[in-house]
Amino acid sequence: MKAAKVIATCFKGKEVIEKTRLTGDPLGFFYHSQNFTNTNDIINLLKLHIDLENKFNPGCERDLIIVNADTGSIEGNKFIEEINNNKINNGKIISYTKENYGLSFGSYNDAFLKFEKNYDYFLFTEDDWLILNDNYFKIGIDVLNSNPNNGMVPYVAKTKIHKLHWEELGLNKLNAIGCHGATGLLSKKMLKMIVNKYGCIPYHKGLDYRQSIVNGELKFPNSVVKLGFEIVDLPENIILGMPAYDYMRNIKYKKFPNLFETINYYLQINLIRPLKKNIWKVVSISNITKKFYLNTLSYLRKIFK
């Protein structure tokens, strides 16, 4: 048995998100923090991935495939060349640069088509989500193989797909299921079934962000469901992944909110945010009321800081 962890990366600065947020259905801390705004940040991020591969025993023989979508970074592309074929614990690094299309999901497809003959299992993740801890591969493989109907094991979490996307993806309330980031483990057999049906691991053949999410992050894991298989989560008490930026800051990660966090989330979504939006509609009519409102908010923030 041999496995590959595929990390999709590119040397383009990401949006800064300081705090990991709640999202998804079921609700969890899956809208992850990130602060990687330049080439050096991303090089250090990839070095962290490599260090963790040497720190933890994955539980099986595995290689680390790093796929870099080319954004024109000379320094970044050079780093990718330099680490290719370096040895790591229980395997080696395979790193290369490809044309930039389809976000991470185009990279997932490219890696599988290139290396499908070499591995029995593939674990896909983006560079800002770490997969770590001893036996992280073996645990996932055991869960995947615990039932012949299991098709994918998420390493963030399974989630329902929002109704906004049902029509364009041909979904309904029974099959609108995916997983955050399309981050997860699949067997070569499962991936070949997906490719046989869709012609590839689903991804958008272009650079449009929304289309890349819909036809990659949503469609890829959902293709498992449409083939009649299950997306099955890791046991709730087992955490094998976390936001890289939280790890770097020694912030302890948990998957699910407590009761207070859950109530606060739904209050914000269903009451406070709509109320703020309606207040702004009123006060923004006049520059005088707008200024008074903003100054009041600034004053209140200082008091309760």
Contact predicate 130/242, CB 8 Å: yes
Q: Is the dihedral of CA 194, 198, 201, 203 positive or negative?
A: negative
Could you tell me if residue 182 is left (phi over 0), alpha (psi between -120 and 50 degrees) or otherwise beta?
left
Say which range, 122-131, 163-172, 260-269, 293-302, has the weakest mean pLDDT. 293-302
- Tokens of residue 13, six digits: 């600065």
> Are 281 and 219 found together in one domain?
no
Q: Which of 242, 257, 272 is the last residue of a domain?
A: 257
Q: What domain count does the chain have?
A: 2
CA–CA distance, 45 with 51 (Å, rounded to integer): 10
Together in a domain, 224 and 294? no
pLDDT digits (tens, 9 = 90+) for 172-181: 999 999 999 9
pLDDT of residue 132: 97
- Asked if 157 and 14 sit in the same domain, the reply is yes
Check whether residue 211 and residue 277 sit in a common domain: no
Each residue's pLDDT tens digit, 184-236: 999 999 999 999 999 999 999 999 999 999 999 999 999 999 999 999 999 99
Residues 233 and 283 in one domain: no
Same domain assignment for residues 175 and 156 = yes
Q: Which of 257, 278, 294 is the last residue of a domain?
A: 257
Same domain for 244 and 268? no
The pLDDT of residue 103 is above 90: yes
Residue 293's pLDDT is 87
Which tokens sit at 136? 């992280």
pLDDT of residue 305: 66
Mean residue pLDDT of the chain comes to 96
pLDDT at residue 85 above 90?
Answer: yes
- 147 and 101: one domain? yes
CA distances from 185 to 88, 114, 170, 226 (A): 20, 17, 24, 17
For residues 185 and 140, the answer to whether their CB atoms sit within 8 Å is: yes
Residues 287 and 172 both lie in one domain? no
Location of structure tokens 């970044």:
76
Quickly state the pLDDT bin for 297 (edges 50, 70, 90): confident
Position 76 confidence tier, pLDDT thresholds 50, 70, 90 = very high
pLDDT band at 107 (very low <50, low <70, confident <90, very high): very high
Q: What is the Cα–Cα distance from 170 to 177, expressed in whole angstroms?
A: 12
- Domain of 300 in residue numbering reads as 260-304
- Within 13 Å, how many C-alpha atoms sit on residue 248's CB side? 21
What φ, ψ does residue 25 adopt, rounded to 5°? -145, 100
Q: Are residues 197 and 277 in the same domain?
A: no
Bond into 154 cis (ω within 30) = no
The token pair that represents 31 in the structure block: 């809208």
125-169 pLDDT, tens per residue? 999 999 999 999 999 999 999 999 999 999 999 999 999 999 999
Q: Which residue, of 241, 257, 273, is where some domain finishes?
A: 257
> Are residues 203 and 295 part of one domain?
no
Query: Among 21-30, 242-251, 283-292, which is the least confidently predicted range?
Result: 283-292
Asked if residue 264 and residue 166 are part of one domain, the reply reads no
Residue 157: give its domain's CATH number: 3.90.550.10
- Asked if residue 170 has pLDDT above 70, the reply is yes
- Per-residue pLDDT, averaged over 276-289, amounts to 90
